[in-house]
Amino acid sequence: MSNLLIRNIHTLVQAETNRRSLVKGADMASLPVVHNAYLLIENERIAAFGHMDDCPERAEEVIDASGRLVLPSWCDSHTHIVFAATREEEFVDRIRGLSYEEIAERGGGILNSARKLQVVSEDELFEGAWERLQEVIGLGTGAIEVKSGYGLTLESELKMLRVVRRLKEKSPIPVKASFLGAHAVPTEYKNRREAYIDLVINEMLPRVAAEGLADYCDVFCDKGFFSPEETERILKAGWKWA
């Protein structure tokens, strides 16, 4: 058994004896804390915590956290860290006065990301996403959700989700995958959006489900993207797949 002791913690934050599964409303202002605390970890799990008066005397590894806080890692439930290239040029366009929607209408935005992603290999995509994952872990993230949605073709959506699967396999933190085929209507479907929605429902979703590539089904429901009615069709189709 390996163990790690963090001692002399100024404040141990979000340390609960009575487990909660969700905090709502006025309760959100209460955060259980222990001042002058220790935290004992055995193997990979939390074994004990409490006031320094009750701190175990020794452990294989000891960290002194004097003057410092200890928190549970952030749980980041919404990201798109698999992408082929940055969009710095659009940032400058927005500084000059264009809106996000105007940029999208000109073929920028999500469609720009999709064009770039289609010509990048799965390995290159993985490397980029892996670097971003390392970066956010260093900023305290300890669980993460990652979406597809820059593929917008059957092959590219599957490519993205396979990258997410590789992240899951290699990552030291849990990774959840969301299928976001309905992130935007691709240019070639501009005048026949129904056909794209059919592609998402009849071709993408069954493959994604068959290969077990996603935990959730996402849709960008908003003006200029997918209507509530279109969203509902896709979500109902998603519910059918185990």
Partner 1 sequence: MGLKPKIHANELGLTGGVQVGVANNAISVDHLEYTSEVEIEVLKNSDTLPTLLPGCAFFLGIPFAPARQMMDAGLPVVLASDYNPGSCPSGSMPFVVSLACAKMKMLPEEAVNAATLNGARAMELEQDYGTIAVGKIANVFITRPMMSLAGLPYAFGSKVVEAVVLGGKRY
For residues 143-202, which are near partner 1 according to CB under 8 A?
143, 145, 172-174, 176, 178-179
98 binds partner 1 (CB under 8 A): no
User: What is the smallest separation between the CB atom of 222 and partner 1, expressed in angstroms?
Assistant: 5
Can you tell me which of 8, 36, 62, 79 binds partner 1, judged by CB under 8 A?
79
- 126-132 — which CB contacts under 8 Å span 24+ positions? 126/163, 126/166, 126/167, 128/82, 128/83, 128/84, 129/81, 129/82, 129/83, 129/163, 129/164, 129/167, 130/167, 130/170, 132/81
CA distance 228 to 223: 10
User: Which of these, 154, 178, 75, 161, lies nearest to 126 by C-alpha position?
Assistant: 161
User: Rule CB under 8 A: which of 203-232 touch partner 1?
Assistant: 205, 208-209, 214-225, 227-228, 231-232
Q: Using the rule CB under 8 A, give the single segment among 34-42, 118-126, 152-160, 194-202 that binds partner 1.
A: 34-42
| Nearest-angstrom CA–CA distance, 109 and 112 | 5
Place of tokens 């820059």: 150
- Which of 78, 106, 190, 192 is close enough to bind partner 1 by CB under 8 A? 78
Cα–Cα distances in angstroms (integers) from residue 151 to residues 37, 93, 118, in the given order: 48, 24, 7
Q: Which is nearer to partner 1, 166 or 200 (CB)?
A: 200
Which residue in the set 36, 62, 132, 189 belongs to the binding site for partner 1 (CB under 8 A)? 132
Q: Position 134: which residue type?
A: Q
Residue from 125, 130, 141, 151 in contact with partner 1 (CB under 8 A): 141
235 binding partner 1? (CB under 8 A): yes
Residue 18: CB minimum distance to partner 1, A: 9
